[in-house]
Each structure stands twice: as C-alpha cells, then as structure tokens.
Amino acid sequence: MPTVHLLDYVAGNIRSLVNAIEKVGYTVEWVKSPEDISKADTLILPGVGHFGYCCSQLAKSGYTEAICNHIRSGKPFMGICVGLQALLESSEEDSAVKGFGVIPGSLTRFDDSDKSVPHIGWNSANTSYAKSLGGKSLYGLRPDSKYYYVHSYAVPYRAGELEKLGWDVATARYGDQEFIGAVAKDNVFATQFHPEKSGAAGLRVIKAFLDSRRVSDLPYTPDSLLSQEGLTRRIIACLDVRTNDSGDLVVTKGDQYDVREKSSSGTETTDGKGGAVRNLGKPVEMAKKYYSEGADEVTFLNITSFRNCPVADLPMLEILRKTSETVFVPLTIGGGIRDTVDPDGKKVSALDVATLYFKSGADKVSIGSDAVTAAEEYFARGKKLDGTTAIETISSAYGNQAVVVSVDPRRVYVADPSSTSHHTIKTAFPGPNGEEYCWYQTTIKGGREGRDFDVRQLVTAVEAMGCGEILLNCIDRDGSNKGFDLELIRDVKAVVKIPVVASSGAGVPEHFGEVFEAANPDAALGAGMFHRGEYTVKQVKEHLYSKGLRIRKFEE
C-alpha cells in the first residue's frame, strides 16, 4: 500500500486520522524528526488546539523549515484544522507567534455576540462559486455535503482575494460570517474541518487528495440541498455503558438514572437494588449502527466509575479503539475523568486519563462529578482560577473544544424565589404542592448526591475554566419520553457562550424539532428511544428536514 507521512507533534486524536487513511487504502509512516520530512513524498500536518502553541512547537523543533521546504519542492501537502491555520501569516489567538506565511491572511475569532463559540458541528465546504473549478469538485468536496468543524478562529472569506493569487477556495458560513473551509493551490491542500471525522464525505476528500485527484466531476445535486448552506442541527446518540451483574460491559438506560429493571410489581426488590441492570446491547455494535443511521456524534458515558484495574487497562479504551476503526464521526467519552490512583498506588492525573482516551480514538472527554467540585471551589475562592483542575489542565493541553462538562441537574421546587439564594425560574410545570418556581440543583455521583450549588453557577464556572461544551442532562426527564426540559435549556443558554447539548427526555422525533425551535440548543442527544428501536436517528433527521431545519444527510 502507498505510504503517507504524518507529523504527530501535537496532542489530540491522531488515531482517527490513521484509521481514515488506512480505510482509503494507504499506510502511515510517522515523521519523528525534521529530517524524516525530506524522505516524505506525501505529507499531512494534522492539528488541534492552540495556533500559537502549535506554531511555536513546530518552529522550536525545527519542523517549520522542513515543512516549508517540502511545500516548495512541489510534493503533495495537506494541512488539517490547525494544520491549515499554521499556513497563514498570523492569528488573533496569539499575535506574538508567526505562521508559515504560505497563505496570505490572518485568523480572527468568531463573533460570539449572536452565536456559540467554538463553532462545533457539521458545516459546508462549498466550491460551487469557484469559477476556476468550472463546476467541478475540488478534492472530492461536494457543495451538498457537510463536514465536521471544531474551532474558534477562522480565516474570514473576502471574495476574490485569494483567488487572484491562484488559490481555489471552499467556503462555509457560521451565522453571518463567511469563512474559509478549505483551500488548494498547486501541491497544497488544507481543510479547516476534520475530514477524518466527517463520515463518508470526509473519507472521499482524504482519498481524492492521496490519489492526487484534484478535480473531478460532481454528481447532480438538487437545488433544495444546495440551499442548505450553514451549520446543521447536530444529533447525538448517547450510550450509557456499565458492567452488568455478570461482568459484561453493556449499553444500559435508566429512568431518572435508575438503570435496573423494576420488579413485576414495579417496586424495588427486597435487597433494595431493584432487578438486573438493563442490557440494551453491545457498545461497539450499537455505535456502528447509529453511525450508519446518520448520527452526527456518538457519546459513551461510563456510568460505573468503580474499577479494580489500572487506568491503562480500562475496558472503555478498547471500546474506543474498536469504534474509531469504523465510526468516522466525533466520539466523546465520559465517566471517571478525574485525578485517580491505580490499584498499585500509582497516581494518575485527570490529564493522563484523558490522554489515554484521546490516544484511543476519543475527540472529547466529558467530566461530571469532578467539574462540580472544581466549580464549587472556584466560587469559594472568589471566582479565581487555580490552573490545576481537570478542566483547566486538559483544555490547555488539548484545547477547550476537547472538554465537555456533563451536568446532571434536578429540579428543586420552591413556592417563593426569596426562599432560596439560588437562581430560580417561574415554571409552567408546577411542583407537587403547586410550587410555581424551581431552581436546578447540581448533583454528583450519577445523581446520588445533591449539592447546594445551582446549574447556572456550575455552567458559568466551567466556561471560565476552559470547558468547550455543556452536555445538559436532566434527571427529572431522563428516560421519561416526555421531551426535553425546555425551561432548563433556555436558562443555561442564556448565561453561556459555549455550545449546549440538550439531553434527557427525547421520546419521539418531534421532541427534537421542538427543542431546536423553542430553546435553540447547539445539539440534541437521544438515548432510550434509539436503543429500544422505537425510532432511528434517520427518522429524527427526516423530521427536522421536513420542518425546514438544516441537517447532515448520511452519505454512503
């Protein structure tokens, strides 16, 4: 198989890129020193994280000159995400550090006054306006396909500027900002999106580049799809995973976080544990199924954090490795991301735990209980960061976009807002004694312990610490099939700029339409309705499409 040289200088999920390259018929050889680059025929520079960190690391280790020589020699070069950004002259993210200057221009931060930042999700890379391409596809890009982006900085698109210098440009639009999704000139091709995370559409792009197929014919696309430019509504399938009573790792699903079968009378069994852990299937197989139905992301939550093995042997690592071989959309892993101690007494930091997960194919880690404790301490310190929390250490090493905080709130009803110091909302669903107000109490340990800390305090604290996305569960709605808690989602959306994923309560496709229209989350997640086979991800997307909402269509 032909070989591709890959530079692994930064942290991040490189495994998925290797899997994607192998999937399209190539093998990977690692570049371990600047000298290796002179031996490379085709070179790929991937990247996630911080522009300044990335460019200064490359310069310090002597790679910048070697990469620029490779580009000057005319041999094929591809940059991905920060690998594209490094080709620019500079970035607002770190004005003290210079880029390679291969592409004229500079990166600016997205305006967050009217939208969430980072920009996370599926957006276009549209070349249909590029006159130079004469209606053909650039490296397999299609105007009706969607690609996975995750970034806060982008190159604003100014019509004609780069084209005048011989660049072909693919554009995307976020809110009213048009930016560069991909660029190509001679032997250089670079994408702001992650093709290795963009399903079949992304694999097609990688293959076209590696096969040196710069332009090709486009299939016919109906006008209805071409008008779907912009960020799509993201649908996430969530798999709660735990060991059942026979010791097998299974996908399970609870009602209000209780994952055990009820006895036939509907009550708990005499041992107080309830029945067996519900077993809804095998994690890797179910992830594959949701991928093939068009899920835009898959989240695994390891809901039993006890363990009797070293962190490096955690069974979830193997699940991620296997899943990332065939599932080419972003994978999130949650559960047990915290400082910990191995059975032999060795300390393992939250950052080390996260690193193991990223190396095994995860794109994001999701932090639950530890984030609540860290946020409480942040408030106790007078809202001062201390730099040592899991959120801070992981986001500074891997970027904010890699850190999700999973929130498990529960309603506490009050008759009068003055009876609590917490932020309350007036609810359309009064409490058991007719209380018209409630606050959302945060919990830890899978909802088992409530804290004197509300959801607004938690989300604002974790945003300040460097969390890039909120996974907003709701214990009251979990497994209820009654629809999302719109009041909760609106309340959280009002106080953070980072994306919010609505979770808990989805029972029918209409619930997804309702939540996007009434509470405007950045993504919505479903579990039980998919696991029980009641509806498919595809049906949810068809419903959204019928309501005129933008979605990513699954491509074979």
Point out which residues bind ligand 1PR (CB under 6 A): 238, 240, 253-254, 257, 259, 301, 303, 305, 334-337, 366-370, 406, 408, 446, 473, 478-479, 503-506, 526-528
On whether the CB atoms of residues 155 and 161 are closer than 8 A, the answer is no
**Residue 522, CA atoms < 13 Å, CB-side half-sphere:** 29
On whether the CB atoms of residues 23 and 16 are closer than 8 A, the answer is no
Whether 81 is catalytic is yes
Q: Phi first, then psi: what are they for 543, rounded to 5°? A: -65, -45
Looking at beta carbons only, is 102 or 303 nearer to ligand 1PR? 303
The one catalytic residue in 194, 511, 531, 543 is: 194
Looking at beta carbons only, is 408 or 522 nearer to ligand 1PR? 408
Whether 194 is catalytic is yes
The one catalytic residue in 240, 297, 463, 487 is: 240
Calculated CA dihedral for residues 454, 460, 461, 465, nearest 10 degrees: 150
Is the four-CA dihedral 460, 464, 465, 468 of positive or negative sign? positive
DSSP 293-304: TT-SEEEEEE--
Whether 68 is catalytic is no
Helix axes 455-465, 390-398, angle to 10 degrees: 40
* Least distance between ligand 1PR and beta carbon 456 (Å): 18
Q: What letter would DSSP give residue 10?
A: S
Looking at beta carbons only, is 183 or 365 nearer to ligand 1PR? 365
* Least distance between ligand 1PR and beta carbon 296 (Å): 16
Whether 408 is catalytic is yes
The one catalytic residue in 94, 392, 408, 485 is: 408
Looking at beta carbons only, is 155 or 301 nearer to ligand 1PR? 301
Looking at beta carbons only, is 449 or 452 nearer to ligand 1PR? 449
* Least distance between ligand 1PR and beta carbon 258 (Å): 7
**Residue 13, CA atoms < 13 Å, CB-side half-sphere:** 32
| Three state DSSP letters for 342-406 | CCCCCEECHHHHHHHHHHCCCCEEEECHHHHHHHHHHHHCCCCCCCCCHHHHHHHHHCHHHEEEE
Strands 106-109 and 90-91: parallel
Which residue is closest to ligand 1PR by CB? Answer: 446
For residue 122, give the amino acid letter. Answer: W
Q: At CA 36, angle to CA 40 and CA 74, rounded to 5?
A: 35
What is the Cα–Cα distance from 462 to 457, expressed in whole angstroms? 9
Residue appearing with tokens 């200057």: 101
Nearest residue to 458 (alpha-carbon basis) of 374, 531, 400, 336: 374
* Least distance between ligand 1PR and beta carbon 476 (Å): 10
Looking at beta carbons only, is 220 or 306 nearer to ligand 1PR? 306
* Least distance between ligand 1PR and beta carbon 463 (Å): 17
Looking at beta carbons only, is 253 or 543 nearer to ligand 1PR? 253
The one catalytic residue in 94, 168, 196, 392 is: 196
* Least distance between ligand 1PR and beta carbon 388 (Å): 17
* Least distance between ligand 1PR and beta carbon 318 (Å): 19
Whether 542 is catalytic is no
Q: Which residues are catalytic?
A: 81, 194, 196, 240, 408
